Amino acid sequence: MVPHEMMVVKSGEAGAEEWNCPSCGRRLLLRWPPRFERTVLHPGDDRVMHVGARTSVGDVPEQELRWLSANGILWT
Ligand SMILES: [Zn+2]
């Protein structure tokens, strides 16, 4: 199965980001360290693997990559 690619649609205050999957409509709210948090706003098709992509790519710490993959988002 082809993974869906999620994109950041909004960066909120306090380090929260809204992620959207254009293919199935899955939407997540991600909060970065020091307060890791994930809220599923819309489940979309959760049988599909979702990968994360960012338009502005910086160095993502190993610890955050592990957290993302544990939460169903694989960094590409
Ligand atoms: Zn999707």
Where do the domains of the chain lie? 4-75
Three-class SS of residue 62?
helix
Q: How far is the CA of 44 from the centre of ligand 1 (A)?
A: 6
What b/e readout covers 11-27, taking b as 16+ CB neighbours within 10 angstroms? Answer: eeeeeebbbbbeebebb
Q: Mark residue 26 as left, alpha or beta (left: phi above 0; alpha: psi -120 to 50; beta: remaining).
A: beta
Candidates 26, 5, 2, 28; CA nearest to 17 is: 28
Q: How far is the CA of 60 from the centre of ligand 1 (A)?
A: 22
Output the pLDDT for position 61: 66
> Is residue 73 over pLDDT 90?
no
Percentage of residues in the chain with pLDDT exceeding 70?
72
pLDDT tens digits along 33-59: 777 788 999 999 989 988 876 655 556
Q: How far is the CA of 13 from the centre of ligand 1 (A)?
A: 25
Instruction: Give me the residue label for tokens 């338009």.
Output: 55
